[in-house]
Amino acid sequence: MSQVGLAEGSLEAIGSWIVSQRWFGDKGRSLAGLAVVSAARLGDIELAVIELGFADRTSARYFVPLVTVAQAPANAVIATVSGGVLADAAQIPQGLEAISQAIWTEVAQGGLRGIRTAVAPKGTLTPALPSHLEQSNSSCFLGEAGFAKLFRRLPEGTSPDWEIGRFLAGRGARVPATLGALLLDGVSAEPIVLVQVWERIDGAKDAWEHSQTLLAELLAPGVPAELAVEEPAIGWCRVLGLRTGEMHRALVGTLEELDFAPRPLTDADLEATALVARSLGEQALDLLEQTLNALGPDDAAQAREVLGRRDEILADLGEAPSVDPHAVRIRCHGDYHLGQVLWKDGNALVLDFEGEPARSLVERRKLQSPLKDVAGMLRSLDYAAQAALKNAPGHQETAVAWRDAASQAFLSGYLAAVTGTPLVPCDPVEFQALLDFHLAEKLLYELLYELRNRPDWVGIPLSSLMRLCA
């Protein structure tokens, strides 16, 4: 069989399958062409990188591990071929076993490179089983000790998740230890991470699930509203803020660690961020106007009010705040929200340092103010309250009270960890101005994301934009 046999033989079917997947990150774009960029082999498994060309003359690369088997789960089947079906090997145990083995034996062939870190797994790494978690990539469990993520939409260079995971190893941050990765050389100027493996954390909920369980109890009929702002309901957010601050302190490297050495947060840096934010805002508001007639009555009413303040929103977003010259920018999480945190035994572990998937790799790897992450988590707490209201309408006042108290608890925990460091401006006014700037930027990002992916949720960023403009 030729090197590119599996992918080349069913390229059109593979393209159709890719665009139908939840992890497909280019929804709404017209597909104009397909090409196989790489098709390295691991025994019977073909690790294909497929380039999708779009009508706007841009392109994106996706990782699809392929295998031919007699039968496969329905959601793994890509095409019927001679000898059975062509399937997504990320959902077939034998495919996952081959990938796992390549990492632990530190394979070096056909551009593939397996790497193990110095952290030893605490237990076995077999069998390999798909996790079926809903997310923007694919994942699997490796025995009792490992959890692996297969990156689907590939950047042009090395994943921030891998870079940061290796950097944080042994630095005391509460993150699952990075155990290894499978890299692909030769298709980009930098190695591309196809698969990354972390220690497996059992018995944990993600913090989003934790928040929804808690809010369901608080918003139940007959529960006193004042319980929403008392310590049992919000104390965990203070812990989360503390762990967030500790994570940021751990991400401060030395001058010798070039990619992680802190740099001054200058006016020029903030002006450049403001330009990017304004461009994002223009895209979001343009799309809001284009889709206005497809929105429900309540969302459409909010959308008209927001669009009526378009110039005001963009002017505020394009005006960078001034901050203390001693404040620094660092490598950040970049896509920080409740779904990126595991909650176990009253404590938090932070996951997924890949950054916001809609942003370029250059943007995701930039040094930034840590308040970008703080703004992301504050927005997530608002999302948690609004999502809970979908199942308990009529409790708006209680949900808002919880959101505000939880946000203040998070901020108090965060400041307890970082006050006195250059991670945040010393002046409270400058601190709030920088935080508000990043909140506005995040809101426009959310608006664009929801319009493209979850129109039923667009009311959440819209209502928050209205509050910001008030």
Rounded-to-integer distance, Cα 406 and Cα 6, Å = 51
Q: Taking the model in full, what pTM does it have?
A: 0.85
Do 190 and 223 belong to one domain?
A: no
> Strand pairing partners for 67?
87
Residue after which a domain boundary falls, among 170, 199, 228: 199
Q: Of 144, 174, 199, which one is at a domain's C-terminal end? A: 199
| 163: its two tokens | 């870079």
Tell me which residue range forms the domain holding 455: 205-469
How many folded domains does the chain comprise?
2
Q: What is the CATH number of the domain that holds 263?
A: 3.90.1200.10
pLDDT tens series, the chain, 470 aa: 344 489 998 999 999 999 999 999 898 899 999 999 999 999 999 999 999 999 999 999 999 999 999 999 998 999 999 889 999 999 999 999 999 999 999 999 989 999 998 777 888 888 999 987 767 889 999 999 999 999 999 988 999 999 999 898 777 788 998 999 999 999 999 999 999 999 999 889 999 999 999 999 999 999 999 999 999 999 999 999 999 999 999 999 988 898 899 999 999 999 998 998 899 999 999 999 999 999 999 999 999 999 999 998 888 877 888 888 889 999 999 999 999 999 999 999 999 998 987 788 888 999 999 999 999 999 999 999 999 999 999 999 999 999 999 999 999 999 999 999 999 999 999 999 999 999 999 999 999 999 998 999 999 999 998 887 76
Q: Are residues 218 and 144 in the same domain?
A: no
Rounded to an integer, what distance in angstroms lies between the CA atom of residue 346 and that of residue 194?
Answer: 33
In this structure, the answer to whether residues 85 and 190 fall within a common structural domain is: yes
Are residues 194 and 215 part of one domain? no
Q: Contact, 454 vs 299, CB < 8 A?
A: no
Residues 278 and 168 in one domain: no
On whether both 305 and 169 belong to a single domain, the answer is no
Q: Do 244 and 104 reside in the same domain of the chain?
A: no
Tell me the C-alpha distance between 148 and 104, whole Å.
13
Domain boundary, last residue among 158, 184, 199 = 199
Q: CA 331 → CA 43, 76, 168, 180, 327, distances in Å?
A: 38, 36, 11, 21, 14
φ, ψ of residue 366 in degrees (nearest 5): -65, 150
Q: Are residues 333 and 386 in the same domain?
A: yes
**Region of residue 192 (left: phi > 0; alpha: psi -120 to 50; beta: else):** beta
98 with 35, same domain: the answer is yes
Residues 331 and 257 in one domain: yes
326 with 195, same domain: the answer is no
User: Does residue 158 sit in the same domain as residue 33?
Assistant: yes
